[in-house]
Amino acid sequence: MHDELVPSRLSRFPKLGVFPVDRIGSKDVEVKRRIEEYSKRSLTYEGDIINALLGLLKLFEQEHQIRHVWGLPYPVQDPCRVKYGSITRLRKAAFVDALCWKLRSPSTRRKSFPSWSWTGWRGAIHWPSSFGVEAHLGIPATDWGPSAYEISNPDFSIRLETTHGALIDWALCESHHDDAIEYRDSDEYHDDAKLGRFMHMTCYISSIYSLTSTSKAKSCVETQSALDNPVYINVDIRLVEQLPDGQDLYALHMPWNGDSRFIIIRNVEEYWERVGTGRILQFTAAIGGRAPMDRVKKTWTKIRLG
């Protein structure tokens, strides 16, 4: 019998009330569609935002080897592309891409959940396709070759903080996923193995400016320029909540070449908070043969994102 004639175990899973509105899914990327549907629901107890989804996430892990950190999915392995880089590198790339979810309209925070996860905000979310490609689980790529994983800053790092304040490197956490990832109260796991809501990143950031042109304020980032006066590039930003005027905002850049997207963050005393997403507008003319996103003035720094 041909493989394509054998229905997936997930596809045959019965509908569970009003969620999911369609079948569970037969492809790894459909985990994002199910999470998007789930995010539209209203919960009686907001603390159950992850717990109520764990059964579905477990099914995707069993069927498609999909794991998650605070509801952000990433593939354990992608056989068609593993030859282009290490497994850990691909998983981290997919996880960072999952950070680029968007709220469909401004909302409010769930303070006990991380701001960098959709679980930290009330309201419906969605994941735009990476470079228009959605054949697999969101690993950014303009093609399926090695250039898709040309990391522009190889020292980019992610460390996850436990509830006791210990830091776990992404690679170590991922290799001990079953021991480290646990959100429910359970006697099966020691407290020091549970992840808290903070993530430590070593990355590039840029200040976002609001400039007035023709009586209309535009968001911009500064570029590297030999000119005496600063040169700016327009950016398109989408905030997850209405922020006070004068709020200092920063762009946290994606770690691979050729990606115009960024996460918008702000400093809230002891940590940073994710408050939106944005992108560098591609129609800005290149100067000196360099694409707009390659000319942005950036600062290499460490942040604690909560």
**pLDDT confidence tier of residue 174, bands split at 50, 70 and 90:** low
The more confidently predicted of residues 142 and 215 is 215
Q: Hey, is 31 helix, strand or coil?
A: helix
CA separation for the pair 104, 125 (Å, rounded): 6
**pLDDT confidence tier of residue 269, bands split at 50, 70 and 90:** confident
CA separation for the pair 131, 93 (Å, rounded): 14
**pLDDT confidence tier of residue 179, bands split at 50, 70 and 90:** very low
List alpha helices for 45-148, DSSP H: 54-64, 87-98
| Average pLDDT over the chain, rounded to an integer | 74
Query: Distances from the Cα of 135 to the Cαs of 10, 111, 132, 209, in angstroms?
Result: 18, 34, 9, 36
Neighbouring residues of 112: CB distance < 8 A, sequence distance ≥ 6 = 47, 197
34-60 pLDDT tens trace: 999 999 988 888 888 998 898 899 888
Domain definitions of the chain by residue range: 25-199, 204-305
The more confidently predicted of residues 293 and 15 is 293
**pLDDT confidence tier of residue 244, bands split at 50, 70 and 90:** confident
pLDDT at residue 2, as a whole number: 35
Q: What is the DSSP letter of 91?
A: H
92-148 pLDDT tens trace: 777 888 898 999 988 899 989 999 999 999 999 998 864 333 444 444 443 323 334
In this model, does residue 168 exceed pLDDT 70?
A: yes
CA separation for the pair 136, 225 (Å, rounded): 38
At residue 5, what are phi and psi to the nearest 5 degrees? -90, -5
In this model, does residue 240 exceed pLDDT 80?
A: yes
At residue 118, what are phi and psi to the nearest 5 degrees? -60, -20
pTM: 0.79
pLDDT at residue 143, as a whole number: 31
In this model, does residue 189 exceed pLDDT 50?
A: no
287-298 pLDDT tens trace: 444 556 667 889
**E strand segments, the chain:** 66-69, 72-75, 102-103, 125-126, 157-162, 167-169, 195-213, 216-222, 232-239, 249-253, 261-268, 271-280, 299-305
In this model, does residue 267 exceed pLDDT 90?
A: yes
CB 161 within 8 A of CB 194: no
CB 76 within 8 A of CB 208: no
pLDDT at residue 227, as a whole number: 65
